[in-house]
Amino acid sequence: MKIKPPMTMMDFFRKSEGTWFSQRSVHHFDAAADESGESNLIIQIMEKDHPKIQEICEKQAVNPALAVGGAIFMWQTTLDAQDKEPNPNYAAILVDIPDRHNPQSGKFLRNQGYVEGIPVIGRYNFATDGVLTIDTEYEKNQGQERCWFITDDF
């Protein structure tokens, strides 16, 4: 059965909502050690009127009226932590600011970066096949992530 991939960031967030198994590898090209591991990724939707969205927009000098919503991403560092609350130190909030004339691309505000724990702005684009590419510039690093759904549940 062919799936219909999400083609906007909010559709991607909605399709991603819930708890997912995550296996991650990060490769650094400087003196920092490479990272890898397994965790639970917990995603919760935030509607555009959520107070945190306005707060993040204001901190990054972006008009909150441009935001269409967002999501909270939380990680549990151990897979057997199902009954424990996620550690707020392992969480990030993303605010979706789509391009006015093309909702398949835009930017998102992140209250804190994965690599450098500071607020960042990333760019995203959905290809015609639904593959999401995210590019993020940090003060000392760059990141690119590619995400897609193979099935509705994977």
Where are any strands of DSSP class E within 52-113? 69-76, 91-98, 105-110
Burial class, 65, CB count within 10 angstroms (exposed 0-12 / middle 13-18 / buried 19+):
exposed
What residue numbers bound the domain in which 16 lies?
A: 9-26+35-79+87-147
71 domain residue, yes or no: yes
Q: State the pTM of this model.
A: 0.84
The predicted structure's pLDDT at residue 85: 74
| Sign of the dihedral through C-alpha 122, 4, 43, 24 | negative
- Please check whether residue 116 is in contact with residue 139, taking contact to mean a CB–CB distance below 8 angstroms: yes
Task: Dump pLDDT digits (tens) for 53-84.
Answer: 999 999 999 999 999 999 999 888 666 555 57
Structural domain count of the chain: 1
56 domain residue, yes or no: yes
What's the half-sphere exposure (Cβ side, CA atoms, 13 Å) at 51? 0
Reduced DSSP (H G I as helix, E B as strand, rest coil) percent helix, strand, coil of the chain, to 5: 15, 40, 45
The predicted structure's pLDDT at residue 31: 62
15 domain residue, yes or no: yes
4 domain residue, yes or no: no
Question: Which CATH number goes with the domain that contains 74?
Answer: 2.40.128.20
The predicted structure's pLDDT at residue 43: 94
1 domain residue, yes or no: no
* Under-70 pLDDT residues of the chain: 1, 26-36, 77-83, 113-116
